[in-house]
Amino acid sequence: MKPLLLLFFLSTSAFSQVQWTKIPADYQLFPRDEKNSAEVEFQFTSKTDTEIQIQVYGNDQLLNTLKESVKANTSNSIKIPIEAKPISYDFQIKIANESITKRGIVAGDFIVMYGQSNIKALSGIDHFKVDTKYLRNFDTKNPAEPYSWSTADLPYGSVGVIGLKLQQLILDKYGIPTCILNAGVGGASLYSLIPGNGLNYQTLMDRVEKSGAKGNVKAIIWRQGEAETCNWYMDIIDYPILFGQFMDHINKDFPEIIKFYNIQTGILHCNQMEEAGQLREYMRSTKYLFPKVETTNMHHLPLSDDVHYSSEAYIQTAEELLPLLGRDIYQDQNLPEIHPPDIQKIWRNAMGDTLILVFEEGQKIQYPTPKTINGFTWKMEDYFYINTITAHQDGIIQKAWAEENRVYLKLNWPINGGFVTYLPSYATSSPPKQEVHLTNSRGLRAMSFYQFPILPMLPTPRITNIQKLEPGKIRLTFSDKGNYIVERRSLTSDGYTVLVSLNNADSYTDEVDLNQRWEYRIKRVDEFAQSDYSNTVSHIPPPIVEDFAPRNIMQNEKGPFVIKGKNFGTEKGKVNEKVEILTWKDSEITFNLSSTFLPGNFNLSFETADEQTFTVQINVDALLPIENNYLSIAYPNPVSTKYLNISSTMDILEMHLILPTGQWQKLKSKKLGKHDYQIDTEHLSSGQYILLLQGQKEKEILRFTKY
């Protein structure tokens, strides 16, 4: 029966009235364009005059029906737009008495993953459950068989745990379907992954071209280096040359990529070579050598053996990659700490007994406390190697600490210069363990570095004066002439911004908005060295009161009162002894009165933490005190409608309204019932008002707010 069935299909194909030259495959992903959409093209020729009908379904809902007349023996093309969203498109096609259905088509992004087994990352894939309805793969189980489209969990989950988790995260956060082309090869050296040295790169490019990803790859994620670390030191010596050749091919074959993410290899036990630290240092430096490269690492993530990580580690790697891809591809925020801290400079003070390790501006370095595990105490000080190698730690560090983006190493004896290595070149246990790391406030571990040079520090300068000039200028005066970098920040900025580099200068004039607060600092620089930062000086604008309420109060009222404005500062200032501060912000202060004022007008004085003063005036009603017996209520309160209603248990003979300005006016009211009244508030502006109600014997005061 099987041969007969095959003949039937061949016969059907031979007598088909339609020849398709382009038609989507089931589960195919089409690359999105800058408008977040893609086109699905149908190209065909019919042997007879006929009509084609294409029904377009999105997530099983009919979206559109297209009908076109078709002439015989004429090439036809129909392009149908689809959106790059969590939408799975199906196409039902009817032409010349034939019906075809294409299912699971999506629009989105291609991402390539390449390197060794830690980027393939299949460990735990069978137990990692993800809804792959909008996630795609293009691969084959058997190299002898053609590639085919599938959901990302098929065939055999070859996108890997990092890839599959990253696809899930991108879809959940940015709503974009993806196809991961993971071409990682277990145990592969860098040499074997370069074109001309085997079939690995050719296999990658074959998948890229046949999937339609050529010219449409958003990013490449690369993890490699274990082969060299676990082999011969000459492989490490040759690595920079080979990586340069590799990047030449990447730039030629993938000119469209936005980023190439290079994951620094870990600390391994397999072959205890000092040169392994040199390899990690080169990986760290690639972001400064190649324009599109960004670096990250997997340090401190749990390993399952000497080289490979646990599935939890692979999942965390995807989670740490997501903000980088979000920034670079999906227009998300560019926050300083989404990247692991990376060393920028190491300075030695004039005495030679303190080193200052400087990381990127905006990093908030966390220095770990000692950690005792199984009787062994891990101390971060033991994993800085100053003018030495992993095998010879000499205990030179007396103490260490972190402040903002800097780590300070206080030494037991002075040094003249040299280098610092952070983290050992190799591990002495298997699986490798390194239980203490420098991190930032997001928990990302610092990039390891090897024999990073120590530079001398110049004398620390001082800013001796800051002077306000008119109009809109601030003049800084320095302690002496020199070459300086001037930096400035505002009250709302995350960090300092470099304003200017000065040569042989002893002052600088800045043009700014004098109504804002500004802080300045400088550092001395020359061709080979720099100083620590100077003292900071501030331009502090005077506090401005823009609104204060309520200005008119009853004699027995305590608050709360609200002052709105700007330049109050963020630290609590000094106040009158009759004032109790509730909150103090740069643009708002709230307070209560701690004692009762006599009737009249009173100025309350406030002094900011910067010793600038301002006052507000409170008007205490002279008719008070009047005891409220809660005989009346006003509603709705606040009032945004035309009328305010008053219900009372007393007969109201007169009503007076006290305006926010303190002025009085007699009110006319409409009586709705025996003790129900209505007043027109349409003419009143927004603010707080006081109603004085006069009965036969009683008086009562009500307050209401008009919106």
Average pLDDT of the chain is 90
| pLDDT surpassing 60 at residue 65 | yes
526 shares a domain with 426: no
Distance CA(51)–CA(160), nearest Å, equals: 44
Q: 217-270: per-residue pLDDT in tens? A: 999 999 999 999 998 889 999 999 999 999 999 999 999 999 999 999 999 988
* Exposure string for 351-365, b = 16+ CB within 10 A, e = fewer: ebebbbbbbbebbbb
For residue 380, what is the DSSP state?
A: G
552 shares a domain with 533: no
Average pLDDT over every residue of 80-88: 98
In this structure, is residue 10 part of a structural domain? no
* Exposure string for 117-139, b = 16+ CB within 10 A, e = fewer: bbbbbbbbbeebebebbbbbbbb
Lowest mean pLDDT among 133-137, 331-335, 520-524: 331-335
In this structure, is residue 4 part of a structural domain? no
Contact 684, 706 (CB under 8 A): yes
Average pLDDT over every residue of 61-71: 96
Q: 424-475: per-residue pLDDT in tens? A: 999 998 889 999 999 999 999 999 999 999 998 899 999 999 998 878 899 9
Q: 537-565: per-residue pLDDT in tens? A: 999 888 999 998 877 776 667 778 899 99
In this structure, is residue 555 part of a structural domain? yes
Q: 344-360: per-residue pLDDT in tens? A: 999 998 899 999 999 99
Distance CA(76)–CA(65), nearest Å, equals: 17
Domain that holds residue 412: 337-453
122 shares a domain with 232: yes
> Where residue 614 sits, what CATH number does that domain have?
2.60.40.10
Q: What is the pTM of this model?
A: 0.74
In this structure, is residue 177 part of a structural domain? yes
> Where residue 661 sits, what CATH number does that domain have?
2.60.40.1220
Q: 678-703: per-residue pLDDT in tens? A: 988 888 888 888 888 888 877 788 88
For residue 127, what is the DSSP state?
A: G
325 shares a domain with 181: yes
* Exposure string for 584-604, b = 16+ CB within 10 A, e = fewer: bebeebebebeeebeeeebeb
E-strand spans in 454-525?
455-458, 463-469, 473-490, 497-511, 518-524
164 shares a domain with 124: yes
| pLDDT surpassing 60 at residue 302 | yes
User: Which of 106, 132, 148 lies at the terminal end of a domain, its last residue?
Assistant: 106
| pLDDT surpassing 70 at residue 341 | yes
Nearest by Cα to 524 from 510, 534, 535: 534
Residue 26: CB atoms within 10 A of its CB come to: 13
Question: What is the four-CA torsion angle of 376, 377, 380, 386, rounded to 10 degrees?
Answer: -60
260 shares a domain with 121: yes
- As for how many domains the chain has, the answer is 6
Nearest by Cα to 294 from 262, 317, 329: 262
197 shares a domain with 168: yes
550 shares a domain with 530: no
In this structure, is residue 53 part of a structural domain? yes
Identity at 74, one-letter amino acid code: T
Could you tell me which residues are beta bridge partners of residue 508?
Answer: 476
User: Which of 301, 334, 367 lies at the terminal end of a domain, its last residue?
Assistant: 334
Phi and psi torsions of 168, nearest 5°: -60, -45
User: Which of 426, 453, 480 lies at the terminal end of a domain, its last residue?
Assistant: 453
In this structure, is residue 2 part of a structural domain? no
In this structure, is residue 402 part of a structural domain? yes
364 shares a domain with 307: no
608 shares a domain with 646: no
Distance CA(616)–CA(548), nearest Å, equals: 7
290 shares a domain with 148: yes
In this structure, is residue 12 part of a structural domain? no
Identity at 504, one-letter amino acid code: N
514 shares a domain with 436: no
